[in-house]
Amino acid sequence: MHIDARTLENETIIEGDICIVGAGAAGISIALEFMNSPYKVILLEGGGFEYEERIQELYDGKTTGQPYYPIKSSELHYFGGTTGHWGGMCALFDPIAFQKRDWVDKSGWPITQETLLPYYERAHVYLEINVYEYNLEYWQKKDPSLVSIPFDKEWVWTKLWQFSKPTRFGTRYKETIVNAKNIHLYTYANMVDITSNENVSEIKTVTVKNYAGKTHRVSARYFVIACAGIQNARVLLAANKQAPKGIGNDNDLVGRYFMEHLELKSAELWVTQKSELKLYMNENPRVHGELAVMPKKQEEYQILNGIISFTALESKTPNYIKTWTNSDPRENLRSHPQPAYKALYHQVKDYFKSFNSDIKNNLHQAFQVTLRMEQAPNPLSRVTLSDEKDELGVPRASLNWSFTSMEKRSIRKNYEIIGQQAGASGFGRLKFLEELWDEKDDHVPSTTSGGWHHMGTTRMSDDPKNGVVDADCKVHGINNLFIAGSSCFTTGGGANPTFTLVALSIRLADHLKDIAIKK
Ligand SMILES: Cc1cc2nc3c(=O)[nH]c(=O)nc-3n(C[C@H](O)[C@H](O)[C@H](O)COP(=O)(O)OP(=O)(O)OC[C@H]3O[C@@H](n4cnc5c(N)ncnc54)[C@H](O)[C@@H]3O)c2cc1C
């Protein structure tokens, strides 16, 4: 069922069993899990079904620290959320991503990869990825031309990715959600405040507003906030009437530990024999391999988890941080140089194909190497509230993206290991950016991009002193408030977040069903 909240009488009271705030990958996944259940689900979405500048403007905010994309254009504010722009790259978080690592301060989720495996399988369905199989041998048996780079397996392994279509949740699931009898989707229902009982142990209502000047209240037994990585922190911090530091923020952790994946196109691999690297090149649509340093070596060298990918040097792409600068996300996507470069590369390739057998056979002498790496949890990397308010009266977000000394050292070591392996195996030589050579310099290059992955701002921990939510994504100290999305990640892993956050959301839906039945 769909209701446009602008058309309701002002100050309507909306009642349900479960209230989900935010209809993106996380919120829609949870709503789908509740379809045809005996529970009345209220799904609140701030925007409508299409992009609108006036709604997107509510996301505008400041950035300081390491250069970052404009906040306004790094997440999408309408039904379907940022899946309207995502690229669909999916991989499992490795077991080490969840583990407590002595060399990474504040690492260690209260859950393991094993806990999430059954939910990853279910997430495949929503993300429309065909075969739930991340074992390299399986794919190599099907296609023996997917050959791994012959590096020492004690040092380096090939991690597999698969691709969602990419599923645009806003179009793919619109009809299903709108037609579901027990799901009540309210569009133009921007949550602007959260009201609790007196001692802030239980949420009573959330307040929603829109440009039509309407204010409504929603009461429910359980509330799930699924507004995306930056906004989740923002809405909790802004709800500061009863809890002066913000809801769930008794220990001053909401918004802290903001994490991204650092993306650096910062090396070249020159190979001794021209190679196709079919397994590793983006052009293979179904599965795709990337190189990662083995967990034991990460431990030995005390480094962060990174993944290394290859593209043909001819199709060299500039750094996203230099090109994704418009505050309108659609403009960035339109003018994003990658497709243009790719098209150009293919035109050149097609032209030479007729008489150059190397190009015809996809053989290359040199590859651009990109490292995608987690960052170490850092309390100074954080989302706070700015003094400025948006048009609905909510303080805007301010993001300070910053690093510890581990990142630069880990970037260098990841490259050194791949370079040593390339040399030792006779496969080729790796040359990485001079800016990375100086061991005494902790600064990461200004060309460091992010993946638009916003993690850690409501991090998961058993101990309320170390995180905002518990292993069930419930806010510590509040009986009926849950958070969904990558803001719950304790550490960032090497892989893109959406697959993991959808798996985590399905797990949260199961948990909510369990506790709702018991009550
Ligand atoms: C260009 C680009 C490429 C990407 N590529 C990949 C990729 O290849 N792989 C990958 O894993 N990830 C990728 N991502 C990231 C991916 O899009 C996000 O991880 C994912 O969409 C996050 O899901 P979410 O539900 O937490 O947030 P969102 O999808 O952003 O959904 C949040 C929802 O909450 C709503 N909302 C926000 N505030 C309020 C409020 N106050 N009241 C009511 N509703 C509200 C929003 O309108 C939105 O619908 C990419 C992102 C971008 C921008």
10 Å Cβ neighbour count for 185?
26
Residue 255 Rama label (left phi>0; alpha psi -120 to 50; beta): left
Structure confidence at residue 360 (pLDDT) = 59
Structure confidence at residue 130 (pLDDT) = 86
Tokens matching residue 327: 């505050």
Q: Any idea which fold 1-90+165-259+454-519 has? A: FAD/NAD(P)-binding domain (3.50.50)
Structure confidence at residue 341 (pLDDT) = 42
Quote the CA–CA distance of 222 and 368 in Å, as a whole number. Answer: 48
- Segment among 41-55, 88-102, 428-442 with least mean pLDDT: 428-442
Structure confidence at residue 495 (pLDDT) = 97
For atom 41 of ligand 1, the residue with the nearest CA is: 191
10 Å Cβ neighbour count for 217?
16
Residue that wins the pLDDT comparison between 331 and 106: 106
For atom 14 of ligand 1, the residue with the nearest CA is: 86
Residue spans per domain, the chain:
1-90+165-259+454-519
Q: pTM of the full predicted structure?
A: 0.96
d(CA 226, ligand 1 centre) in Å? 9
Q: What is the mean pLDDT of residues 403-419?
A: 94
β 203-209/190-196 pair status = antiparallel
Q: Is the pLDDT assigned to residue 435 strictly greater than 50?
A: yes
Which of 227, 320, 473 gets mutated to test ligand 1 (max ligand atoms within 8 A of its CB)? 227
Give me Rg for the CA atoms of the chain: 23
pLDDT tens figures, 6-35: 999 999 999 999 999 999 999 999 999 999
Band (pLDDT 50/70/90 cuts) for residue 340 is very low
Instruction: Give yes or no for residue 78 CB within 6 A of ligand 1.
Output: yes
Band (pLDDT 50/70/90 cuts) for residue 345 is very low
β 395-401/61-65 pair status = parallel
pLDDT tens figures, 165-194: 899 999 999 999 999 999 999 999 999 999
Q: Which atom belonging to ligand 1 lies closest to the Cα atom of 485? A: 26
Spacing of C-alpha 181 from chain mean position: 31
What is the four-CA torsion angle of 44, 91, 368, 324, rounded to 10 degrees? Answer: 0
pLDDT tens figures, 264-291: 988 999 999 988 899 998 666 688 999 9
Which residues does 240 contact at the CB level (< 8 Å), separation at least 6?
246, 247
Q: Which atom belonging to ligand 1 lies closest to the Cα atom of 73? A: 53
Q: Is the pLDDT assigned to residue 230 strictly greater than 90?
A: yes
Tokens matching residue 220: 């429910």
CB neighbour class for 244 (10 Å; exposed up to 12, middle 13-18, buried from 19): exposed
Q: What is the mean pLDDT of residues 48-68?
A: 97
Q: Which residue has the tokens 């393991």?
A: 112
Structure confidence at residue 445 (pLDDT) = 87
